[in-house]
Amino acid sequence: MGDIFQLLGYRDRLVSVGTKIDKKALYENAEISAVEKKIIIDGIEKMQIEYLLNSKTINISSYQDEDKIYQAVVILRVYLKNINNVDKIAQILQKSFPNPTIIFFEYGNEICISTAHKRINKLDKEKAICGEINLTGFIPIDKINEVDKKFLESIKINNLPFSDFYDFYSFIDEAVYLYKKSNLLGKYEIEQDEEKRRIRKQLIEEYERLNNELAKITKQIKKETQFNKKAQLNMEAVKIKSKIDELKQKL
C-alpha cells in the first residue's frame, strides 16, 4: 500500500520514532479486562509509536487549562490481523494512552484513523478520561475517491493549525468526525475557523436527531390503523422533512 505518512507529509518534516509496543506490556500497564485482552490478541498483529509530537520535534506550543493538558501528541501505527473489532480496539487503545493519540490502523491497502480528546482525571493524575472516540472507517489508500481525497488533503501536516497542540489535535479530531458523517451528508467539508466548525457540528447533530425522529414516526405510521392518528403522524412527518431539508441546505 502507499505510505500514509508520506502522503500526509510527516516523512518530510519529522523523524519516525518507530518504538514497538509490546502487547504484554500493554496488558500489564493498562486496566484491560480478559475480554479486551482477547480482542487485542485476535485483532492486532503489531503496533508501534510512529511519531511523538512535542515541543522538541515540532514547532507547536503546549496547552493547559483546568480540564486538559496537551503537551504532546502520540501518532500510533497499528497493523491489524482483521477488521472485525476495530471499533473496540480503538476504544481499548484510546483509553490506555493518557496523551492525545491519533491511531492509524492498517489492514492490507486500507487505513482507518481514530481520535479521541482526553481530559484530566482529577482523582488520579496518572490517568486520563477519554472523550468521544471518532473513527473514519476504512479508506483504500490506493483507490481513494473524491471525498477521501478532500479528507486526506485537509489533515496533511502542513494544512493543520500550529497555534498549540490542542488546536492541532482538535482540527484532526473534527476532520475525522466530519469524514465519518460524509456518508450521511454526501460530501466532506471542513472550515478553518473553529467557531464555524463548532456550529457545523451542532447542525449535523440536529440533522441526525431529526432523521432519527422521522424514522420512528415512519414506523409508527406503518403500524397505525386509525385514520385520524395516521393523518396526524403524516403531518408531523412532513414538518420534520421540511426541517431536514432546511438543515441540509445549511450543511
pLDDT for the residue numbered 31: 78
d(CA 26, CA 64) in angstroms, rounded, equals 27
Pick the last residue of a domain from 152, 173, 190. 190
pLDDT for the residue numbered 44: 94
pLDDT for the residue numbered 24: 80
Residues 139 and 37 in one domain: yes
Tens-binned pLDDT, residue by residue, of the chain (251 aa)? 568 999 999 999 999 998 999 888 787 767 788 899 899 999 999 999 999 999 999 999 999 999 999 999 999 999 999 999 999 999 999 999 999 999 999 999 999 999 999 998 877 766 788 999 999 999 999 889 999 999 999 999 999 999 999 999 999 999 999 999 988 888 898 988 888 888 888 998 899 899 999 999 999 999 888 888 888 989 998 999 999 888 888 87
Residues 131 and 215 in one domain: no
C-alpha cell belonging to residue 169:
489535535
pLDDT for the residue numbered 248: 82
Residues 16 and 76 in one domain: yes
User: Domain range holding 133?
Assistant: 4-190
pLDDT for the residue numbered 249: 82
Residues 159 and 240 in one domain: no
Counted domains in the chain: 2
Residues 13 and 65 in one domain: yes
Q: Which residues of 26-38 are buried (b: 16+ CB within 10 A; e: fewer)?
A: bbeebebeeebee
Pick the last residue of a domain from 155, 173, 190. 190
Residues 204 and 92 in one domain: no
Residues 171 and 211 in one domain: no
Prediction pTM value: 0.88
pLDDT for the residue numbered 34: 87
Residues 211 and 116 in one domain: no
Residues 116 and 223 in one domain: no
Residues 137 and 166 in one domain: yes
- Residues in Cβ contact with 207 at an 8 Å cutoff, skipping those fewer than 6 apart: 184, 185, 244, 247, 248, 251
Residues 202 and 180 in one domain: no
27: left (phi over 0), alpha (psi -120 to 50) or beta: alpha
d(CA 78, CA 93) in angstroms, rounded, equals 10
pLDDT for the residue numbered 79: 96
